[in-house]
Amino acid sequence: MSTDTLTERPARSTLFDGLSRYIPIGATVALLVVMYLVGTGNYRNFGEPQVVANLFVNNAALLIIAVGMTFVILSGGIDLSVGSVMAFSAMSCAWLTVEAGIPAETAVAMVLVLGTVSGAATGAVIHYFNVQPFIATLAGLFLYRGLTLQISDRDVAIRDNAFFDWGMERTEFGNVRDGGFSLPNIVFIAGAVVLIAFVVLHYTRFGRGVYAVGGSEQSALLMGLPVARTKVGVYAVSGFCAALGGVVAAFSTKSADPLGGLGLELDAIAAVVVGGALLTGGAGFVLGTVAGVMVMGMLSTIISFDGRFSSWWARIIVGILLLAFILLQRVLARSGEKRKT
């Protein structure tokens, strides 16, 4: 075999590996476009700008939590506690403002700090005690759901607090009746979270460390990367995002539901995977997570417009999509391994 052939094969393998990273997110975006075209072609008023805007409005909390989950999954972990932390945060905001009489701004700050610290504590348990992320975060799921129910086992209204009116104050982009749309402030909060996450993951040492740890923790240690700090950090980010998701939910409903966020951790994981991230870590994009959330929201919107199917069909289709994307990732991984050999 000639030297040219030997040098050509690694080059082709490297090119394939580079492009294969973008195939899952490309498939997600293509699926989103197809779904939108199907919707506009079959349902009246589906193409209205406000319909698309409502995708972000209705999924603002999920988007924020899914961004935090992206950090965890990229590092090779998992966080099953985010739904419970979200409910606990919303209930804490309600109790602190209604029962304890603490100013809403202070209550929100306290809740965000608590979510961040609890996430960091979970990360420390996982790293320093070598506990599997599934077990550690499952404990958090039960712990924070139980604490939420201890505060109150029924909805707590916070409609009389002027601070919580701010979240749903809308900014109009043109006249809604003439093809414009409006967005509440919670969407801008979610957008800011996505933007910050994108910058952190792609332009900071911490972000590069997240990808390195997810790719191979042992290799990251040999390279001298701060593995402990990174693992604790990603769970702190997830805890903060889960708490912020609870605050956004409080803004949206002006109440706190002790059973809010049930199963939301699975929705967040599904959105991240459908968005192209590897469950084993080391590959994925925060913008892919945004696309994954939009795919799930678009499914619910199409089913709502159609009116003939139960909302549970969205769950069934998401399950099929999740399996399809996992299989796609496995096929791409095996193709890459074959090219290397």
Fold of 22-340: ABC transporter involved in vitamin B12 uptake, BtuC (1.10.3470)
Confidence of residue 143 (pLDDT cuts 50, 70, 90): very high
Q: Is 184 helix (H, G, I), strand (E, B) or coil?
A: strand
Q: In this model, does residue 17 exceed pLDDT 70?
A: no
Q: In this model, does residue 132 exceed pLDDT 80?
A: yes
Per residue in 60-108, pLDDT tens?
A: 999 999 999 999 999 999 999 999 999 999 999 999 988 888 898 999 9
Per residue in 194-213, pLDDT tens?
A: 999 999 999 999 999 999 99
Q: In this model, does residue 236 exceed pLDDT 60?
A: yes
Higher pLDDT, 222 or 248: 248
Specify the pLDDT at position 16. Answer: 46
Share of the chain above pLDDT 90, in %: 50
Question: Comparing C-alpha atoms, which of 215, 208, 206, 229 is closest to residue 278?
Answer: 215
CA distances from 311 to 41, 155, 244, 302 (A): 21, 24, 27, 10
CA distances from 126 to 67, 129, 229, 235 (A): 20, 6, 12, 10
Name the average pLDDT for the chain: 87
Specify the pLDDT at position 290. Answer: 94
Q: Is 181 helix (H, G, I), strand (E, B) or coil?
A: strand
Average pLDDT over residues 152-171: 84
Specify the pLDDT at position 6. Answer: 44
In the chain, where the domains are located: 22-340
Place of tokens 């590897």: 278
End-to-end CA distance of the chain: 15
| Cβ atoms of residues 126 and 231 within 8 Å | yes
Average pLDDT over residues 313-341: 75
Residues 6+ apart with CB under 8 A from 333: none
Per residue in 22-60, pLDDT tens?
A: 777 888 899 899 989 999 988 888 888 898 899 999 999
Specify the pLDDT at position 7. Answer: 46
